[in-house]
Structures are given as structure tokens and as C-alpha cells.
């Protein structure tokens, strides 16, 4: 249930972003978000063997920066 809500909220946010930005920028932002999230998550899981609350927050912040950089790169 929680995953469905999270996916719905993420999709709504991307659709809202698509109303103010070109879709290429939205696609680039999503790609940046996914790449940043996956990269830091791999590093954290290999070094620490799992996630803690602090590393989860760090992954979220890095993913957000990845989104911004992806949008900026496409604009």
C-alpha cells in the first residue's frame, strides 16, 4: 500500500513539473534523480552493508540535487 501511494505522489509531482517545464527537462530531471539515487545507494550499501536513517536522508538529498542538475542540463 505504501509503495502505491509513494508512486502516485511521485507521478503527480512529475506531471505538475511537466506543466511548467518542457517534457525533455522533466525527463532529464527524472534521469538525474534515478542515477544519483542509485549511485549513492550502491555506495552506502557496499560500505555500510545497509541503510540507516542518516544515509536515507543523504540519498534523498543527493537524489534531489540530481533532479535539479538533470533539469538544468536539459534547459
Question: Each residue's pLDDT tens digit in the chain (75 positions)?
Answer: 888 999 999 899 989 999 999 999 999 999 999 999 999 999 999 998 888 888 989 999 999 999 999 999 999
Q: What is the reported pLDDT for 58?
A: 92
At residue 46, the pLDDT reads 92
Q: Are 32 and 71 in contact (CB under 8 A)?
A: yes
| C-alpha cell recorded at residue 37 | 539515487
φ, ψ for residue 44, nearest 5 deg: -65, -45
Alpha-carbon Rg of the chain, whole angstroms? Answer: 14
18/58 Cα distance (integer angstroms): 26
Q: What is the pLDDT of residue 27?
A: 93
| 52: phi then psi, degrees, rounded to nearest 5 | -120, 175
pLDDT, residue 50, reads 83
Amino acid at each position: 500500500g505504501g509503495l502505491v501511494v509513494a508512486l502516485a505522489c511521485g507521478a503527480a509531482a512529475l506531471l505538475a513539473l511537466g506543466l511548467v517545464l518542457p517534457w525533455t527537462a522533466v525527463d532529464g530531471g527524472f534521469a538525474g534523480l534515478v542515477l544519483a539515487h542509485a549511485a549513492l545507494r550502491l555506495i552506502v550499501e557496499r560500505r555500510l552493508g545497509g541503510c540507516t536513517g542518516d544515509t536515507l536522508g543523504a540519498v534523498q538529498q543527493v537524489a534531489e540535487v540530481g533532479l535539479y542538475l538533470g533539469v538544468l542540463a536539459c534547459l
